[in-house]
A = this chain, B = another copy of it.
Amino acid sequence: MGLHDLLRTAWHRSDSMLCVGLDPDTARLPSPLDGNPNAIERFCIDIVDATADVVCAFKPQIAYFHAHRAEAQLERICHHIRERHPHVVLVLDAKRGDIGPTAEQYAREAFHRYGAHAVTVNPYLGTDSVEPFLRHTGHGVFVLCRTSNPGSGDFQMLDVGGEPLYLHVARRVATEWSQIGDCGLVVGATYPDELREVRAVVGDMPLLVPGIGAQGGDVDATVAAGADSQGFGMVINSSRAILYASSGDDYAEAARAAAIATRDQIRAAGAR
């Protein structure tokens, strides 16, 4: 199965578009993990096991592991997700973008070392920087399009022949890169109008949507703007609001409750 099939299966099976982002900030880990040499791994696996039936995807953010020499912990977390929760899509958030031979090294890291189904990539270097990822059969990419951060407009909103750069990126991915392999786009929930424009351009292409929760994106507006023709089509990410729902002994239960509440909010928005 390719990425698109995996996602469709995950959406229908879980009836959820929620993705839990695994961004383990060592300064915010729950107090019961103090002194645990594998605290990052323990924390992430507890969150994963507490929320796996509520989500369509998990999205580890690689910087939070690499900044702390925790690659081995990330490998074990990814292995755990693939073994124990085989129907949940694993997206490695690494925002890669490099020339062809280097991109192939990054693809091996994402797909072989960590076993990710998909990886996030940056479009700035063009087609040959993304092709090596797409040549790995059964995998796919989410291409940065309109990101959720305050400065995302600096370049993404520049006018290119009458439309903003991010729409130009969306069009190119939909018409050209999708011919090479399974692509999706990253569009922030903090910009629902742009999310709607992207959806209009790309048909039913999957969208990875960060920015709800701590970043302030509105769930109702996001679902109304971004759902595909089947009522799914999005991987809606929340990280901090779920990971740090409690800093005490009940962190896993609190994360589960926060994930269920967010999933239900997304479901309710879709039923409107």
Contact = CB atoms under 8 A, between A and B. Distances in A.
A158 B158 CA distance: 10
A166 to B, nearest CB: 9
Interface stretch (A98-106, A201-209, A219-227, A249-257): A98-106
A151 B180 CA distance: 15
A128 B152 CA distance: 8
What is the oligomeric copy number?
A: 2
Interface residues of A, number: 51
Contacts of A99: 147-149
Interface stretch (A12-20, A32-40, A63-71): A63-71
A106 B61 CA distance: 11
Interface string A89-125: 0000001111111110110110011000000001111
Given A100-B149, A122-B122, A156-B124, A109 B165 contact: no
A159 B156 contact: no
A200 interface: no
Given A64-B105, A125-B152, A97 B95 contact: yes
Contacts of A64: 102, 105
A258 interface: no
Contacts of A61: 98, 102, 105
Given A66-B66, A159-B161, 5 more contacts: A67-B106, A95-B96, A124-B156, A126-B155, A129-B151
| A-B residue pairs, 4 tightest by C-beta | A126-B151, A126-B154, A63-B105, A128-B151
28 contacts: A23-B101, A61-B98, A63-B102, A66-B71, A66-B113, A67-B106, A67-B108, A69-B71, A95-B97, A95-B122, A97-B97, A99-B147, A124-B144, A124-B155, A124-B156, A125-B147, A125-B149, A125-B152, A126-B151, A126-B154, A127-B151, A127-B154, A128-B150, A154-B172, A155-B165, A155-B172, A158-B165, A165-B165
